[in-house]
DNA sequence: CTAATTCTTGACTAAAATAGTCGGGAATAG
DNA sequence: CTATTCCCGACTATTTTAGTCAAGAATTAG
């Protein structure tokens, strides 16, 4: 898991789409104007988001992009994964060298943490962010069920 | 909140320190060897970690670094904050322009999410990562108390 | 049909961040 | 004294980020 400015742009743009996209598509020019992200850069991002099946496009006048599914079914982790191809963290990729070394241990611990962050962001949908009724409430997936946990 | 390779290096190095640091300090040369991070780069990272009061140093032969406090009192968010100075996300920094605009809305939502990630990483200590008795158990701070939540 | 709109693609570029290098110091243990 | 280790600043190479440009394809409005 990586969390860069590009990922932030992507989430921001998708949020804009979720907010401003009703029945009709939203053009990149509109998003560019509202979010102050260069149009060409948005084009690059949306190419990846489209490949990631998160948005669908419509060309021609009145065209643009719309979410590929409902706000509740698009999660932050998916957006970031789509635009930020993940890096390999280990330097002994299953090669089995550095066996029992501290190297493997810390790398494993990091991967574990990274996985937890990913899991965390997999629980937050665009709909959750928009709803935001009570920011101190968050839903946590546990054993397949959704369990509401109030934090802070 | 940003999560880059630099932050990963820092957390990895701090984990190494937590694991290999007993009573005596650990030299950067040792960490460099184990984690395959260049010595000079580690020096830069540890300069920041020291300024962030996360480690203390000891010069001379047998010297090195040790954690500034116990493993249980050093949290991942603190490490990342120390080495990855955060960026400002908004483009209308409280100036009040773009009032009521969609721009402010999405930025606010992003900041909110970013804060949640930060809060999440503020709950995980080096000790937690090391303990890792059952990776499916994680502690979540709620209302000042620690509440154990089993996930997945 | 025509023209304007909008996505689509690829190549290129500027700027910033990342990762690493180098060389000289200062403290300190043995 | 001397080897070790942190400390510091300047410098550099590489990669990533962000943006530009240009040509083209699909589609809709009129």
- pLDDT of residue B137 exceeding 60: no
Q: pLDDT tens digits, residue range B46-55?
A: 999 999 999 9
Tell if the CB–CB gap between B34 and A102 is shorter than 8 Å.
yes
Residue A59 backbone phi and psi in degrees, to 5: -90, 175
Nearest to B11 among A103, A110, A119 (CB): A110
Average the pLDDT over B80-87 and give the result. 84
- pLDDT of residue B99 exceeding 70: no
Q: Which of the four pLDDT bands, split at 50, 70 and 90, describes residue B150?
A: very low
pTM for the predicted model, two decimal places: 0.84
Query: Residue B70 burial by CB count (10 A; 0-12/13-18/19+): exposed, middle or buried?
Result: exposed
Contact A16, A67 (CB under 8 A): no
Task: Classify residue A87 by its DSSP letter.
Answer: P
- pLDDT of residue B100 exceeding 70: no
**pLDDT for A88:** 63
Share of chain B above pLDDT 90, in %: 55
Share of chain B above pLDDT 70, in %: 75
Q: Which of the four pLDDT bands, split at 50, 70 and 90, describes residue B145?
A: very low
Provide, in whole angstroms, the distance separating residue B89's CA from nucleotide C22's C1'. Answer: 36
**pLDDT for B87:** 63
**pLDDT for A142:** 35
Distance CA B43, CA A68 (A): 47
Which chain B residues are closer than 8 Å to A86 by Cβ?
none
Higher pLDDT, B86 or A146: B86
Average the pLDDT over B78-103 and give the result. 68
Tell if the CB–CB gap between B151 and A119 is shorter than 8 Å.
yes
- pLDDT of residue B152 exceeding 50: no
Which chain B residues are closer than 8 Å to A106 by Cβ?
12, 15-16, 19, 34-35
Tell if the CB–CB gap between B34 and A101 is shorter than 8 Å.
yes
**pLDDT for A93:** 52
**pLDDT for A145:** 29
Chain D bases near protein Cβ (<7 Å): 3-10, 16-22, 25-29
Q: What is the largest CA-CA distance in chain B?
A: 61
DSSP character string of B39-103: HHHHHHHHHHHHHTTSEEEE-STT-EEEESS-GGG-BHHHHHHHHSPPPP--SS-S---STT-HH
Residues pairing with B139 in the sheet? B148
Closest A-chain CA to B109: A129
User: pLDDT tens digits, chain A, 152 residues: what are they?
Assistant: 888 889 999 999 999 999 998 788 999 999 999 998 999 999 999 999 999 999 999 999 999 999 999 999 999 999 999 998 766 665 555 545 554 567 778 888 888 888 889 999 999 999 999 987 444 445 444 332 233 333 22
- pLDDT of residue B21 exceeding 80: yes
Task: Tell me the three state secondary structure of residue A7.
Answer: helix
Would you state the torsion angle of the CA atoms of residues A42, A43, A46, A51, taken in this order, to the nearest 10 degrees?
-150
Q: pLDDT tens digits, residue range B120-135?
A: 999 999 999 998 744 4
Count CB atoms within 10 A of the CB of residue A118: 15
Identify the CA nearest to A28 among candidates A46, A55, A11, A50.
Answer: A46
């Amino acid at each position: 898991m990586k969390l860069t400015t590009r990922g932030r742009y992507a989430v921001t743009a998708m949020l804009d789409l979720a907010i401003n996209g009703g029945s009709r598509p939203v053009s990149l020019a509109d998003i560019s104007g509202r979010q102050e992200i260069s149009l060409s850069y948005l084009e690059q991002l949306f190419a990846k988001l489209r490949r990631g099946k998160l948005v669908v496009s419509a060309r021609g006048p009145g065209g643009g992009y719309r979410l590929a599914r409902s706000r509740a079914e698009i999660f932050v982790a998916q957006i970031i994964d789509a635009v930020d191809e993940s890096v390999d963290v280990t330097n002994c990729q299953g090669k089995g060298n550095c066996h029992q070394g501290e190297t493997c241990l810390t790398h494993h611990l990091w991967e574990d943490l990274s996985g937890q962050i990913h899991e965390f962001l997999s629980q937050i949908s665009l709909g959750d962010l928009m709803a935001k009724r009570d920011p101190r409430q968050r839903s946590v997936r546990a054993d397949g069920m959704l369990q509401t946990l109030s934090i802070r």
